[in-house]
Amino acid sequence: MVTAADYMDAALFHAERGRGRTSPNPTVGAVVVSPEGTVVGHGCTEKAGFRHAEVVALDMAGERARGGTLYCTLEPCSHVGRTGPCVVRIVEAGIARVVASVGDPNPLVNGQGFAFLREHGVGIEIGPGAARATAINQPFFTLVKAQRPFVILKAATSQDGYVAEGPGRRTQLTSEVANRHAQRVRAEVDAIGVGVGTIIVDDPFLTARGVYRESPLVRVIFDRTLRTPPGARVLSTPGAGPVMIVTGPAGAARTEARRRLEERGADIEIVEDGTLRSALELLGKRQVGSLLLEGGPTLHQTAWKEDLVDYVRLYVTPHVLGSNGLRLLNGQPFHSAALIDRRVSPLGPDVLIEGYVHGPH
């Protein structure tokens, strides 16, 4: 027998389908169930400016939605943005009841969607699937509540806890299996960030390779003194997405260096107090909801000390580098066992350890 929990599981499944496609909007799934208990419509939110999940599901259901129940993973919107309010479509479709996982913290919604539906005779139930729905939408919730991106610290380490053989030495640790996984992660985030030291030592392209992205990937270089070389390979790939160099007052004073980088297409942003928190708030104003922080260890250490890391994704390899190497977080205390909802997965010869720093909320 199909239960209400099964219908919400289906809505959550459709929400998962939207990962990496909807930013800065939330990732939402919806299912329309007829009065007879038949699923007559389903969908996930499309990219920004297009249909929300509820509308996709209602369009599929048509007249069969009348008198039925809409299961959705987030409170339906009640305001006019790039699209019209979903609550109006829900009422017009004749939906009798809405079951939603969580409320929408966006001040433009934040309970107003539920209030509108109740005022128009639609029954409301809130809570089923809340934990999964919250986890799926951590980037959106973080952007709304903290005005900065959801930060994922990503690093590859040797078995003895080092990220490189030594200062200034490019060190390849992960296997091809782990590398493919890392590229899939790049396909789901809004932005990827590295420190200028990584640009100088590794000269990465910072692109999502071998995977499909719905939108361009924002590449962010944290460079307080504007040391980024104009010939850096990341600046040779404008088609992959914009390159933003975040610098401080010392970098802003280097006018010739700034001019050369801007000629290569870099977008130079100045953070007056030079802090990483302010840099992340700047990204938040640009509607960057998720940031994959790939290194190096000094940038990771700063993010960790400033309590700006929300999630850790650690690829542990079987290599042993020895005591002359560079340690994860520059030796800052870190214990993966303390991660919340911790998961351990084999990736070829490597092991992926991941989890929340503070938990999904």
Question: What letter does residue 329 receive in the DSSP assignment?
Answer: G
CA distance 52 to 30: 9
User: Mean pLDDT, the chain, as a whole number?
Assistant: 94
pTM recorded for the entire structure = 0.93
Q: Is residue 199 situated within a structural domain?
A: yes
Number of separate domains in the chain: 2
Share of the chain above pLDDT 70, in %: 99
CA distance 269 to 247: 6
Q: Is residue 361 situated within a structural domain?
A: no
- Of residues 325 and 103, more confidence is placed in 103
CA distance 247 to 273: 10
Name the band, by pLDDT with cuts 50, 70 and 90, for residue 331.
confident
Are 137 and 74 in contact, with CB atoms under 8 Å apart?
yes
Q: Is residue 82 situated within a structural domain?
A: yes
Chosen domain end from 87, 107, 136: 136
pLDDT at 115: 96
Q: Is residue 73 situated within a structural domain?
A: yes
- Answer yes or no: do 162 and 24 share one domain: no
Q: What residues form DSSP beta bridges with 218?
A: 191
- Answer yes or no: do 124 and 194 share one domain: no
Question: Active-site residue numbers?
Answer: 54
Share of the chain above pLDDT 90, in %: 85
- What is the arithmetic mean of pLDDT over 18-47? 94
- Answer yes or no: do 205 and 277 share one domain: yes
* Amino acid symbol at 137: N
For 262-306, the pLDDT digits (tens) are: 999 999 999 999 899 999 999 999 999 999 999 889 999 999 999
Compute the Cα dihedral for 91, 97, 101, 103 and give only its sign. positive
For 337-352, the pLDDT digits (tens) are: 999 999 999 999 999 9
pLDDT at 329: 92
For 46-95, the pLDDT digits (tens) are: 988 889 999 999 999 999 999 999 999 999 998 776 677 999 999 999 99
- Answer yes or no: do 294 and 277 share one domain: yes
Q: Is residue 68 situated within a structural domain?
A: yes
pLDDT of residue 142 exceeding 90, the answer is yes
CATH number where 317 lies: 3.40.430.10
Chosen domain end from 136, 170, 204: 136
What's 104-147 look like in SS3?
Answer: CCCCCCCCHHHHHHHHCCCEEEECCCHHHHHHHCHHHHHHHHHC
Domain that holds residue 158: 144-356
- Answer yes or no: do 110 and 148 share one domain: no
Are 309 and 151 in contact, with CB atoms under 8 Å apart?
yes
For 1-13, the pLDDT digits (tens) are: 788 899 999 999 9
- What is the arithmetic mean of pLDDT over 251-258? 96
- Answer yes or no: do 325 and 178 share one domain: yes
- Answer yes or no: do 158 and 27 share one domain: no
The end-to-end CA distance of the chain, in Å, is 32
Q: Is residue 295 situated within a structural domain?
A: yes
Q: Is residue 269 situated within a structural domain?
A: yes
Q: Is residue 49 situated within a structural domain?
A: yes
Helices 297-305/276-285 angle, 10° precision: 90
- Answer yes or no: do 181 and 328 share one domain: yes
Task: Write the CB contacts of 66 (distance below 8 Å, at least 6 apart in sequence).
Answer: 93, 94, 95
Measured torsion, CA atoms of residues 222, 225, 230, 235, in degrees rounded to the nearest 10? 10
CATH number where 17 lies: 3.40.140.10
- Answer yes or no: do 29 and 125 share one domain: yes
- Answer yes or no: do 32 and 84 share one domain: yes
pLDDT at 99: 98
Question: What letter does residue 352 receive in the DSSP assignment?
Answer: E
- Answer yes or no: do 294 and 153 share one domain: yes
Chosen domain end from 89, 119, 136: 136
- Answer yes or no: do 193 and 284 share one domain: yes
- What is the arithmetic mean of pLDDT over 296-321? 95
